[in-house]
Amino acid sequence: MSTAELTASRRTWRDWVPTKQLPVLVTLALFGLMYGVGVLQYRGFSDTQVFLNIFIDNGFLLVVAVGMTFVILTGGIDLSVGSVVALSTMVSSSLLTEKGWSPYLVMAVVLAIGSVLGFLMGCMIHYFDIQPFIVTLAGMFLARGLCYIISTDSIPINDKTWVAIADYKFRMGNYRLSVSAVVALVVLAIAVWILSYTKFGRNVYAVGGSEQSALLMGLPVSRTKIAVYTISGFCSALGGMLLTFYTLSGYGRGAIGLELDAIAAVVIGGTLLTGGSGYVLGTMVGVCVLGIIQTLITFQGNLSSWWTKIFIGVLLFAFIMLQRVIRLGRKT
């Protein structure tokens, strides 16, 4: 046997599959498997509109998860996103319905509020060296409390412009996409470009890989950490706006647990919780996996929606174990 043949015979799966891409590939395979089961099991599941509905129903979650990806890539966490989403819905509905503000001014105010909250949390995390878990937990309670100060009841949105945006559909032959879905895909494309082709994106990965090494290399660690929390706050506020397009109302108790769904989508999408490795496209696939679970349960018809949480929990355990196996494999 020649040296080349001997080397080839000794290759393992790690030599053929890039380790960093493995979680994303597993997620893609899982999505394909579940979609295939749905096509074989249920009539009408293969309709393209069923697939597009995943983005229509989960556009706001995709935007929030994109912001969460930036944070987790640096090794941080943001528990405030669900509350910021709820606060955004309350501010939007209150200013539109009770104050009569221009819808475009409301959009600007809502996005500014989310960005400022994210910026302040990022500053506290970096300059006061406080754990992100604690700071964003405080931000979660603050944003949720502000929701109840505005109102404890649901506030409907009747503004004509807002309703028109919510009802508008982009047509593609016999298929359609909502404004929320299109905005979510645009945000995803921008995030892919930032993380893949900009200096800031490289800094995000570097800080997540090793903050100390990034400092020694002279990278702007402080600006990067503050920026990712600002991005997360902006995406949360935008996600809240998209949620109001979906529900045409604001509710202080809305989006409870959304932060956990966003984290689940990021982890299932292959991003390491320790930071430094992951892809925002993987996050999109993670959101699609959560969406396909909901769709399968809807088509089944006799299962409680709580089964969604059970399946997500099982998948999280599986992907956390996969991440652990990959990390151990790198050391051997």
Q: What is the DSSP letter of 163?
A: H
Residue 13 has pLDDT above 50, yes or no: no
Q: What is the pLDDT of residues 223-263, one digit of tens each?
A: 999 999 999 999 999 999 999 999 999 999 999 999 999 99
The mean pLDDT value for 209-232 works out to: 93
Give 3-state DSSP helix, strand, coil % of the chain, rounded to 5. Answer: 75, 5, 20
Q: Compute the mean pLDDT over every residue in the chain, rounded to the nearest whole number.
A: 89
pLDDT band at 206 (very low <50, low <70, confident <90, very high): very high
Residue 45 has pLDDT above 80, yes or no: yes
Long-range contacts of 44-53 (CB under 8 A, 24+ apart): 45/295, 45/299, 48/175, 49/174, 49/175, 49/176, 50/295, 52/175, 52/176, 52/177, 52/181, 53/295
pTM of the entire structure? 0.91
Residue 203 has pLDDT above 80, yes or no: yes
Q: What is the pLDDT of residue 258?
A: 94
Q: Give CA 230 to chain center in angstroms.
A: 15
More confident residue, 295 or 20: 295
Which residue segments constitute the domains of the chain, with CATH numbers given? 20-33+48-331 (1.10.3470)
Residue 172 has pLDDT above 60, yes or no: yes
Q: What is the pLDDT of residue 6?
A: 47
pLDDT band at 57 (very low <50, low <70, confident <90, very high): very high
More confident residue, 180 or 276: 180
Using a 10 angstrom Cβ sphere, with 0-12 exposed, 13-18 middle and 19 or more buried, the burial of residue 316 is: middle
Q: Report d(CA 227, CA 31) in Å as an integer.
A: 32
Q: What is the pLDDT of residue 310?
A: 83
More confident residue, 51 or 312: 51
Q: What is the pLDDT of residues 99-142, one digit of tens each?
A: 989 999 999 999 999 999 999 999 999 999 999 999 999 999 99
Q: What is the pLDDT of residue 82?
A: 96
